[in-house]
Amino acid sequence: MNIKDLIRLLPKKKLMLLLFFKIYLSAFNVFFSWMMQIALESVLEGFMGKQWLIASIGMIGGAITYILIDYFFKITLKQLFQSLTNSLSEIFIGYCLSNREFLANTDEGKFLAFFSNDLDIIGSYIEFGLIPLLDMGIMLLFGVFYVTIQSWHFGILFIGVALGVFMVNRKLSKALEENFGIYITKNDTFIQFIEQVYHLIPSFKFFDTHQWFFEKYTNYVNDRREAFNKYNTIYANLYTITEGMIKLMDILMLTVGLIFVSRGSLTLPVLIGVRNAGLGSILYPAGTLPELFRYYGQYRVSLERLSISISDEGSSIKLEDQELANPIVLPISLQIKQVNLSDDRTLRNIEAQLNPTGMTFIVGPSGAGKSSLIKILMGLNQNFEGNLFYGKQLFDPTHYRFGYAPQKNVLFRASLRDNLTLGDKSISDNQIVEICQKLNIWELIKCNSNELDAIYEPGHEWSNGQMRRLNIARALLLPSDMIILDEPFSDLDLENQHRVIKIMRELSVNKPVVLITHTFDFIRAEDYIIKVGDINVLD
């Protein structure tokens, strides 16, 4: 994704309107300098006639117009920023949904860092980088033109200083970008640590871990602070050098200008007009270069971290755009010779077959690799050796839909309906009620006055078993070619376990159903078993 890609995501009409506003705002300082010069010349000549009146009306009218246009410019800019941020978020989510290898190699903390930091930086570049760059370019163009017409000596002087400021900023900006990359990586590590701690907080109260936690926390904070301080020092140096050069130029220009005036080479009104235009439209815009280079460096770092490309204008990868194969009608031979996991109880030489219908149980002790095997089947783990075959062809999991309930319950801050359907409008309320009744969860939903419109909030008084059944209900409601439940019986009492297995057997008549479990309690003679652990396959 480059700058052209970002611009293509913006609404064209609002972008053109923004450009019109910006041209006026950027040219206003030169216009004001010109009007001021005309008014001063009229005053010094002792004739405050038509020219003075036109200049005064021009300055007052221009200032009022400036205020109004600046107001609408800022509103339009914020609307464009919001539109761009929404588009980038949609693209990123689509990218994640279509790129299972990315998900497999990205933990929760890193994902949140990408989503909250990098996308915001890329979106902010339009507002704080690209638009100010456009502003500076237009102001420099008008400013240099006006100053050079009035005095070519000052025109050359201003151009030379502006180029000098640019070269200094460009040189130091490379170090600025490099150190921002170091800082944001340290920040990622800190966020990942906090995310991991959050999940382990319930365990902290049973163990005396406070000292260890604060030692680790202090180390991560110090690493992040050190990286930020180095980055901030480079930026401070860049900003100080730039401001110093501009202040020096201001004093030099005023001194030289007064000499020219005393010699009669320049009139005082021209000097005041040139100084006002030179400062406001050349030097002060050049003074924003440190900030522009800072945002550009952050943009490049975040873009490199995300590595997202856009192939079509304003498009994003959506799950429904993927071509789905027909429901599975042939046996799938799942052959895995070696899975490269860090755990020494790794999957090795698994030979198994998933039939087009029926129940398949993946059983084994905790940590043996049951969930890893399922992630390979679903395409969520690419780090393995071996092949998955669909008939005689390689099995591509991206072409199939999986009704999946993970081991960890996942519910969103949204309505219960949205939690169960994930926005799929084809799923009716009657279907939801039917599945929830079978899973013995509907009566609990009915207790809420809003029923399916009730908003789930983290910390709501749902038990683990109730949340488990909601997750299973979602897996059954969404269209799928295969149903996979990871430890569906955990958190459930015996009665609800029997309810779940009954529903699974009903569904397995028409599609394959895979259950991950560490017990043999519900297995029948006709079921297929993949045992992960001491024995690879049990027929």
Which tens digit of pLDDT belongs to each residue from 434-468?
998 998 888 888 887 778 888 777 666 778 888 88
Mean pLDDT of the chain: 77
For 160, residues 6+ apart whose C-beta sits below 8 A from its C-beta are none
Return d(Cα 351, Cα 349) in angstroms, integer: 6
Per-residue model confidence as pLDDT tens digits over 259-295: 888 888 888 888 888 888 888 888 888 888 888 888 8
Q: What backbone phi and psi angles, to 5 degrees, belong to 361? A: -105, 130
- Pick from 390, 420, 410, 381: nearest CA to 486: 410
Does residue 75 surpass a pLDDT of 70?
yes
Tens digits of residue pLDDT in 27-64: 888 888 888 888 888 877 776 678 888 888 888 998 89
Confidence class for position 1, pLDDT limits 50, 70, 90: low
Instruction: Note the pLDDT of residue 299.
Output: 85
Residue 513 vs residues 116, 205, 316, 487, 493: alpha-carbon distances, Å: 37, 39, 32, 13, 21
Q: Phi/psi zone of residue 502: left (φ > 0), alpha (ψ -120 to 50 degrees), beta?
A: alpha
What is the pLDDT at residue 316?
Answer: 39
More confident residue, 202 or 94: 94
Residue 64, pLDDT score? 92
**Per-residue pLDDT at 301 exceeds 80:** yes
Q: Is the pLDDT of residue 339 over 80?
A: no
Q: What is the DSSP secondary-structure string of 398-467?
A: GGS-EEEE-SS----SSBHHHHHHTT-TTS-HHHHHHHHHHTT-HHHHHTSTTGGGPBP-TT-S--HHHH
Query: How does residue 207 score in pLDDT terms, banded at 50, 70 and 90?
Result: low
Both tokens assigned to 388? 């998955």
Q: What's the CATH fold of domain 3-310?
A: ABC transporter transmembrane region fold (1.20.1560)
* Residue partners of 154: CB distance under 8 A and separation at least 6: 147, 148, 253, 256, 257, 274, 278
Its CATH architecture, for the domain 332-531, is 3-Layer(aba) Sandwich (3.40)
At 364, the amino acid letter reads G
Domain ranges of the chain: 3-310, 332-531
- Do 3-310 and 332-531 show the same overall fold? no
The owner of tokens 């921002």 is 180
Q: Which of 332, 333, 336 is nearest to 536 (CA)?
A: 336
pLDDT reported for residue 103: 63
User: What percent of the chain shows pLDDT beyond 90?
Assistant: 2
Q: What confidence score (pLDDT) does residue 68 get?
A: 92
pTM of the model: 0.57
Calpha distance 185→192 (Å, rounded):
11
- At 513 the three-state DSSP class reads strand
Q: Is the pLDDT of residue 350 over 80?
A: no
Tell me how crowded residue 44 is: count the other CB atoms within 10 A of its CB: 11
